[in-house]
Structure 1
Amino acid sequence: MGQERRGWEGAVLRLMGARDFTFTVTDTEDLGPSFRRLRLTDGGMLAATGVHPTMWVRLWFPGTGRPHQRAYTLVDPDPAAGTLTLEFALHPGRASDWARAARPSDTIGATVQGTGFQRPDPAPSHVFAMADPASLPALNSLLDAVGGAPATIWFEGDPGAGPPPRTDPARHEVRAAPRHEAGAGLVARVREELPAPLGAAAHPYVWIACDTATTRALGGYVRRELGVPRRQVHALGYWRPS
């Protein structure tokens, strides 16, 4: 998809210093009925930008009318080889439709702008994470980045329905939380379970990456009611219910 078809979104990103690349699909793998993994060449992106934990790109999906862009976290980026993997949680929509149909040699435009990662300071004594299938690649990258810190993870959805979280049972506890009431169930469960372990952690770090409304509710609870300093909370909505 050429830049001329990206409309005002593409124009604003270019003014903000965004960089555009073209990815090419080299291999595909279905991970159950609701996940698909694509391996791609990066069009020179990683050599130009470098790599950091939870790094993401905007992909531009073809369609009529307004261009459709969504952000995806890089999985196993390899700057030397110029390759990366993307994992798609499949649901109705253009992005999932494109991923389902993707075949080797297919291409897609990618834009890098706004991504970044700040390591928690002070280093976390315990990580408390709330995630779902859409943010699973970013969760895995975060767990790699914080090294030996133990983690408690509330995972909304079925962890067995796609690629598993990259967790170490000796350090990481995963609490599966089926999604219901548009995320309200997860919010209620975290409110019930989070205070006690937070009180025992000298330097807690809370990472929240669910749908926008759930993330906002959880982030507000952690900051305002539990009093966790803003610098020790990362809250970013990864999707909006259609």
Structure 2
Amino acid sequence: MAVGKGWEGVVLKLLRGKDFTFTVTGAQDVTADYRRVHFTDGGLLAAVGESLHPTMWVRVWLEGAARPHQRAYTLVDPDPRAGTFSFEFALHGGVASAWARTAAPGDTIDATVQGTGFTTPAPAPERLLVIGDPASLPAVNSLLDSFPRTPATIWFETQHASDADLPVRLDPARHEIRRVPRDGTALADRVRAELPELVGDPSSAYVWLACDTATTRTLTSYLRKELGLPKQRVNGLGYWRAGAEAAAAAGAASAKAEG
């Protein structure tokens, strides 16, 4: 699907963004509100090489009524040898969900790689403290996969009853998930109440969070200013804006929350 990229595409080109075309090979409904689409990578994984990292996302381009839309999606189970990966879509009413609902083998979608990154925390944390929701589940899973021996506590905001069936890659021996129904500030309130007892030494703690922009900013400020975590021990991204299309581009519809 060739889509004009407008001024955003021009800016990304000036920033040396690399363009690729992905081809759909299949799709499956994980739940009634969550869909996984499989792709061949159009040369992406070979091009990024050793830069491939956990939580890696790319910008995809979708047609809108008046202008092109870009949305950011995390690579799920990238296989450089096979040149394949998947995207997972938390379904709602936006253009990306509409595309995902009808995606079929042979369909194509354009994408740009620019802006993604991940710094492995050093020293290694004794426990991962992770805050997310269905939009950031692929990134949460990639993080858990990348630290297979590290205990983790995950606060996971849910919206639909079917979210209980989402494939969170939990190791019962090491991982604990605390589900929080979406209700205003409930997620932020729960984290503020429960996270401090798990932090330990702020200089070696590590918190990764990616939810709606307002919650991400609120919690990032709390972690740094009130709990005293150093900047490099907090990795926060606003993945979507409340009242706008869910799963909006990380770094496009919302800036990286407080760095």
Q: 1:164 aligns with which of 162, 167, 182?
A: 167
Greater mean deviation of Cα atoms: 22-31 or 43-52: 43-52
Q: Is the contact made by 1:28 and 1:102 (CA closer than 8 Å) also made in structure 2? A: yes
Equivalent residue letter for 1:97: A
Q: RMSD of the alignment, in Å?
A: 1.5
Which residues of 2 match residues 186-205 of structure 1 at below 5 A?
186-199=187-200, 203-205=204-206
Counterpart Cα distance in 1 of 2:203 and 2:127: 8
Counterpart Cα distance in 2 of 1:226 and 1:159: 33
Equivalent residue letter for 2:223: V
Partner of 1:219: 220
Partner of 1:116: 117
Partner of 1:138: 139
Partner of 2:53: 52
Pairing 1:235–2:236 present: yes
Equivalent residue letter for 1:227: G
Counterpart Cα distance in 2 of 1:235 and 1:201: 16
Corresponding residue SS for 2:169: coil
Partner of 1:20: 19
Structure 1 position 201, deviation (Å): 7.6
Structure 1 position 200, deviation (Å): 6.6
Counterpart Cα distance in 2 of 1:77 and 1:191: 34
Partner of 1:9: 8
Give structure 2 stretches of 5+ with no counterpart: 245-259
Q: CA 1:202/1:26 → structure 2, altered by over 3 Å: closer, same or farther? A: same
Greater mean deviation of Cα atoms: 218-227 or 160-169: 160-169
Which residues of 2 match residues 13-162 of structure 1 at below 5 A?
13-50=12-49, 51-157=52-158, 161=163, 162=165
Counterpart Cα distance in 2 of 1:180 and 1:201: 29
Q: Is the contact made by 1:125 and 1:201 (CA closer than 8 Å) also made in structure 2? A: no
Corresponding residue SS for 1:54: coil
Q: Is the contact made by 1:126 and 1:203 (CA closer than 8 Å) also made in structure 2? A: no
Structure 1 position 2, deviation (Å): 4.2
Percent of aligned pairs with the same amino acid: 59
Counterpart Cα distance in 2 of 1:26 and 1:78: 14
The normalised TM-score by structure 1 is 0.95
Counterpart Cα distance in 2 of 1:23 and 1:240: 26
Structure 1 position 19, deviation (Å): 0.4
How many residues end up aligned between the 2 structures?
Answer: 239
Equivalent residue letter for 1:57: V
Counterpart Cα distance in 1 of 2:171 and 2:162: 16
Counterpart Cα distance in 2 of 1:71 and 1:109: 12
Corresponding residue SS for 2:238: coil
Structure 1 position 215, deviation (Å): 0.4
The normalised TM-score by structure 2 is 0.89
Q: Is the contact made by 2:75 and 2:86 (CA closer than 8 Å) also made in structure 1? A: yes
Counterpart Cα distance in 2 of 1:53 and 1:202: 22
Give structure 1 stretches of 5+ with no counterpart: none
Counterpart Cα distance in 2 of 1:70 and 1:44: 20
Cα deviations across residues 195-242 of structure 1 (Å, max 9, x unaligned)? 111137872100110000000001111111000111110011111122
Corresponding residue SS for 1:210: strand
Q: Is the contact made by 1:126 and 1:201 (CA closer than 8 Å) also made in structure 2? A: no
Q: CA 1:200/1:12 → structure 2, altered by over 3 Å: closer, same or farther? A: closer
